[in-house]
Structure 1
């Protein structure tokens, strides 16, 4: 059995680390098993608390797994999707000292996992494409090209339309978590839900854009086809998932962007949206 705690290095408010923070809370994995190590923004030197080893080289998030009792040697896992999938498999099988889960967030069988992976791919693509939108469309990027931002936004909506169709028959009620519900986990949550929610939350909280709100009109998609730009199921999903305790941002832990950064992210160039 490996030594604990494992260390998860994150920029707490940024999108890819945010996924794993939500995942750990949903799964009920305690900090004594996986400790979140906040890292200051890159512009501030990517510093960590002196109690922990320095940030490993590479983009965050990074999961550092101790290989000895002294914390001198680690095995590293990079990329948010790889980290979540790895931890979920350990929990599913009760390996490496992780408590056995009641359910898998990756899907109960091969067919469910295929559906989960399909939505993960689309939601992850949305997050990746948003980088171009912010670079071209907001004050957070150095390249003000509103037409390019607007075109990339159409590609993101194309992916969201596909997810809308995938979720059209899903009952979102089990996702709702009341204030009286002390349970940290729910058997209806999947990795796809976490990745999708993280994207929808990121655009609202950081850029002031609710991607669940389409025009409600028939528009031309990126291939010139007539489509209804409306996302009622995504809106239902988002409103249900945001009731969960796992998604509450901890200000003291740096899970809210600095006001100076928010100001730049919400400064949209005319014609970008």
Structure 2
């Protein structure tokens, strides 16, 4: 990998730390043990609070949705006009490659790949990763139609899209049951088993529970009809094991002083569900 310039350090990750897409990158940085001397998280206030960096010593945030990773140029040290990488998955894949190649000072932070080192590993990780991303995308109409945080009230639409979220989760559940995945390997103190897919999926499950009060790992335990009309038992024991195990990791801890916890004004809207939306 080559850049058009020699970067100055640290790199800057502009983020709303509690929001879903920045949150997954922050978990990734912690899991990868990339220090702030290499990548500094620049906390940005929410759009309702003028959308500026909380610490004014940093350059103003670049335009565009967050997170944005800025690699400052050597000639303009301290500015935000260097290489800018947007979208959480692009940022994490970029950092994975930088660590793998041990360039730009990332040699000491180059722990094992979270994206897989063999073809089979990469395929298996990307299978789950694609469904975890699908869950995140499908949740948007659920919360938009079903909660006070949304732009319109359409409870029936919210409930229908929730079925599609559960469809993706059920697929992951079946894969992990078939593979007999040992979730104890994800607990704090055990290294070498967390993947990019785990981070993205955990962040989704954490976001829906902590911000919207909906624990997606808790099924009804009853037989229901899926989106294709097939009868399935709505239960997610492997997902539950996964969520509880990953939640013990230091990387998953929400740190209040670093902005990882959603503000009260946001929770007041996100936790208000319309009748019939769930």
Same fold (TM over 0.5): yes
Residue among 92, 97, 106 paired with 1:98: 106
Query: Which of 149, 166, 169 is the matching residue for 1:160?
Result: 169
Alignment correspondent of 1:247: 252
2:262 is paired with a residue of what secondary structure?
coil
> Distance in 2 between the 1:47 and 1:97 partners?
29
- Per the TM alignment, residue 111 of structure 1 is displaced from its structure 2 partner at its CA by 1.2
Bigger Cα displacement from structure 2, 210-219 vs 64-73: 64-73
Deviation at 1:44, TM superposition (A): 1.2
Aligned residues: 267
Q: For structure 1, list consecutive stretches of 5 or more residues without a partner in the other structure.
A: none
How does 1:41-60 map onto structure 2 within 5 Å?
Answer: 41-48=46-53, 49-60=55-66
Deviation at 1:138, TM superposition (A): 0.6
Contact 1:2 1:97 in 2 (8 A): no
Change (3 A) 1:56 1:148: same
User: Mean Cα displacement is larger for which, 214-223 or 70-79?
Assistant: 70-79
State the 1:261 CA deviation.
1.1
Equivalent residue, structure 2, for 1:114: 123
Contact 1:26/1:186, CA 8 A, preserved across alignment: no
Please name the residue that 1:144 is paired with: 153
The Cα of 1:60 is off from its aligned counterpart by 0.3
Confirm whether residue 171 of structure 1 aligns to residue 171 of structure 2.
Answer: no
Stretch moving more, 157-166 or 196-205: 157-166
Q: Could you tell me whether the CA contact under 8 Å between 1:123 and 1:192 is conserved in 2?
A: yes
Contact 2:58–2:78 at 8 Å: present in 1 too? no
Q: Using the TM superposition, name which of 146-155 and 243-252 deviates more.
A: 243-252
What is the aligned partner in structure 2 of residue 212 from structure 1?
217
Question: Is 2:257 aligned against 1:266?
Answer: no
Q: Secondary structure at the match of 1:8?
A: strand
TM-score of the two chains, using structure 1 as the length reference:
0.95
Contact 2:67 2:88 in 1 (8 A): yes
**Structure 2 unaligned blocks of 5 or more:** 1-5
**CA distance, structure 2, for counterparts of residue 136 and residue 166 of structure 1:** 30
Asked whether the equivalents of residues 149 and 270 of structure 2 are also in contact (C-alpha less than 8 Å), the reply is: yes
Look up the match of 2:92. Answer: 84
Alpha-carbon spacing, 1:102–1:54, altered in 2? closer, same or farther (3 Å)? closer
- 1:166, CA displacement in angstroms? 2.2
Check the 8 A contact 1:139/1:265 in 2, yes or no.
Answer: yes
Q: Distance in 1 between matches of 2:257 and 2:112?
A: 31
C-alpha contact (below 8 Å) 2:145/2:151 kept by paired residues: yes
Q: Is 1:134 matched with 2:143? A: yes
For the pair 1:67 / 2:78, whether they are aligned, the reply is no
SS of 2:60's equivalent in the other structure is coil
- How far 1:234 moved relative to its partner? 0.2
Give the TM-score normalised by the residue count of structure 2.
0.93
